[in-house]
Amino acid sequence: MIEIEDFRQKARAFLETMAPKYGRAAREGNTMEQDLALGREYMAARYDAGFGGINWSPDVGGQGLSNMHKIAYDAEEMQYGMPVQFFGISLGMPVPILMAYCQDKAFVKERVLKALRGEEIWCQLFSEPSGGSDLAALRTRVEPDGNGWRMNGQKIWTSWAQYCDYGVIVTRSDPTVEKHKGLTYFWLDMKAPGVDVRPIKLAGGDSHVNEVFFDDVRLEDEQRLGPVGGGFGVALHTLMIERYIATDSAGFGPHLDEFVKLAQGTEINGKPAIEDGRVRSAIARNHAMRAGLDSITKRAFLMMQAGMQPGPEGSLQKLVAVRSRQKLSEMAMDLKGNESFAFDPHAYVKTDWGASWLNAPTGRIAGGSDEVLLNTIAEKILGLPQDHRPDKGVPFNQIPA
């Protein structure tokens, strides 16, 4: 197996050749559709160069390397701002879940290869108007229909659904048992009859999230992932992956170096802001916090590499990273003064403090709100007693709506 540092150098050389066409600067001013087209090209080139599915088995088209090799590549790629945002969720959660639970291995291999090359995109259909933080309260229902199922209901806040070919979804299959026990998990064709995707415009100006409606959508039983009634367990497996994959120590905001540059070029009371004690304290706190979160992530990947399941510590990653991003972005906006009022709806959240600040609240809700994460930390890490649940032991159809 190639040494990680050698692999990093190889990745850097590849990315240098890709940046003139696919990097952040080259794509400035592109529409979302233009970015998606370039993203598909880049994903195919990345796969052909040996950087697709780095830590996945060669049996499904991966490279068979370690999780640490993937971390090394992702760290290098992030610096160039490649158009990979459309594929992060797809390759991060739905496709790994498909690999873990789908019994049709030929189907899985075809889907994995197409996803790695950017030819197909998957979404994750979890949240609903009545089932967001409390996922087990979802109401999208499936009913037996011959040798398959018929699905009706609604999902919301589904990222990139308007561009997706497939999705994974958790549904209510039995309303007569406790809410956590009556759920079943499926994959579905997003182009199937009865699937209606409607983009939602966010405060930041973009529309990468959607509401999705299902009207008598047919699901074959072969599309079921996991046992009937076992959907909540598969959903938890998905969310456990998400806690590590769908975040970084910067909370998907600007790198700390960007704040240091801003502080060096801004003045407070006639002196560089970098000399102000409050600014220096914020930099030190963020540096220590991000280093700690990076250590948690590396530990989790090493556990997975050793065949172990990472623990609930990923909830700390998600909670702390996005909160700190919001506070640091707010401080950056204060330092910029009147200049912070200039807003570019197409700005990149990893380099623009205004875009980062405005979109940070979305990050504190998506993938688990602060309150849910605090409960997980309290119960699973600190061992505190569970909150009182008046619906415990009550069949779902007897819970007041």
Confidence band, pLDDT 50/70/90 cuts, at residue 49? very high
Instruction: Check whether residue 135 and residue 44 sit in a common domain.
Output: no
CATH number of the domain to which 133 belongs = 2.40.110.10
Q: Which residues pair with 395 in a beta bridge?
A: 178
Per the domain annotation, does 358 fall within a domain? yes
| Element of type H or E holding 71 | helix 67-78
CATH number of the domain to which 267 belongs = 1.20.140.10
Which of 26, 57, 84 lies at the terminal end of a domain, its last residue?
84
Domain that holds residue 342: 247-381
pLDDT of residue 327: 93
**Cα four-point dihedral sign 20, 22, 28, 31:** positive
Cβ contact 141:150 at 8 Å: no
Per the domain annotation, does 59 fall within a domain? yes
Residue 88 and residue 67: Cα distance in Å, rounded? 16
Residue 318 has which token pair?
A: 């998600």
Beta strand pairing call for 122-125 and 166-172: parallel
Per the domain annotation, does 90 fall within a domain? no
Which of 28, 54, 84 lies at the terminal end of a domain, its last residue?
84
Per the domain annotation, does 95 fall within a domain? no
Confidence band, pLDDT 50/70/90 cuts, at residue 261? very high
Averaged pLDDT for residues 29-57: 95
Cβ contact 246:89 at 8 Å: yes
Averaged pLDDT for residues 287-316: 79
Residue 261 and residue 171: Cα distance in Å, rounded? 48
Per the domain annotation, does 209 fall within a domain? yes
pLDDT of residue 284: 96
pLDDT of residue 334: 94
Instruction: Check whether residue 251 and residue 339 sit in a common domain.
Output: yes
> Looking at the predicted structure, is the pLDDT value of residue 295 above 90?
no
> Looking at the predicted structure, is the pLDDT value of residue 262 above 90?
yes
Local structure of residue 133 (DSSP, 8 states): S
> Looking at the predicted structure, is the pLDDT value of residue 62 above 60?
yes
375's torsion region: left (phi>0), alpha (psi -120 to 50) or beta?
alpha
Averaged pLDDT for residues 224-249: 82
pLDDT of residue 245: 57
31 exposure class (CB count in 10 Å sphere: 0-12, 13-18, 19+): exposed
pLDDT tens digits for 347-383? Answer: 778 888 998 898 888 888 877 788 888 988 898 889 9
Query: Is the model more confident about 140 or about 393?
Result: 140
Instruction: Check whether residue 211 and residue 182 sit in a common domain.
Output: yes
Contacts of 176 (CB under 8 A, 6+ apart): 182, 395, 396, 397
Per the domain annotation, does 109 fall within a domain? no
Amino acid making up residue 189: D
Residue 49 has which token pair?
A: 């160069």
Which of 64, 84, 104 lies at the terminal end of a domain, its last residue?
84
Per the domain annotation, does 259 fall within a domain? yes
Instruction: Check whether residue 274 and residue 301 sit in a common domain.
Output: yes
> Looking at the predicted structure, is the pLDDT value of residue 247 above 60?
no
Instruction: Check whether residue 252 and residue 220 sit in a common domain.
Output: no
pLDDT of residue 54: 95
- CA-nearest of 170, 173, 186 to 135 is 170
pLDDT tens digits for 177-215? Answer: 999 999 999 999 999 999 999 999 887 777 889 999 999
> Looking at the predicted structure, is the pLDDT value of residue 101 above 60?
yes
In the chain, the largest separation of any two C-alpha atoms, in whole Å, equals 76
Instruction: Check whether residue 165 and residue 219 sit in a common domain.
Output: yes
Instruction: Check whether residue 257 and residue 218 sit in a common domain.
Output: no
The CA distances from residue 144 to 231, 235, 270, 322, 372, in Å, are 16, 21, 72, 41, 32
Instruction: Check whether residue 184 and residue 286 sit in a common domain.
Output: no
Please provide the average confidence, as pLDDT, over all residues in the chain: 90
Number of domains, the chain: 3
- CA-nearest of 209, 202, 196 to 154 is 196
Per the domain annotation, does 155 fall within a domain? yes
pLDDT of residue 253: 84
Amino acid making up residue 100: A
Averaged pLDDT for residues 53-80: 90
pLDDT of residue 313: 74
pLDDT of residue 310: 67
Instruction: Check whether residue 370 and residue 255 sit in a common domain.
Output: yes
- CA-nearest of 26, 1, 29 to 16 is 26
Instruction: Check whether residue 39 and residue 70 sit in a common domain.
Output: yes
Residue 159 and residue 376: Cα distance in Å, rounded? 24
Instruction: Check whether residue 151 and residue 259 sit in a common domain.
Output: no
Cβ contact 85:320 at 8 Å: no
Cβ contact 119:40 at 8 Å: yes
DSSP string across 209-278: EEEEEEEEEEEEGGGB-S-TTBHHHHHHHHHHHHHHHT--TTTTS--HHHHHHHHHT-EETTEEGGGSHH
pLDDT of residue 46: 98
pLDDT of residue 95: 96
pLDDT tens digits for 124-182? Answer: 999 999 877 788 999 999 999 999 999 999 999 999 999 999 999 999 999 999 999 99
Instruction: Check whether residue 255 and residue 376 sit in a common domain.
Output: yes
pLDDT of residue 90: 95
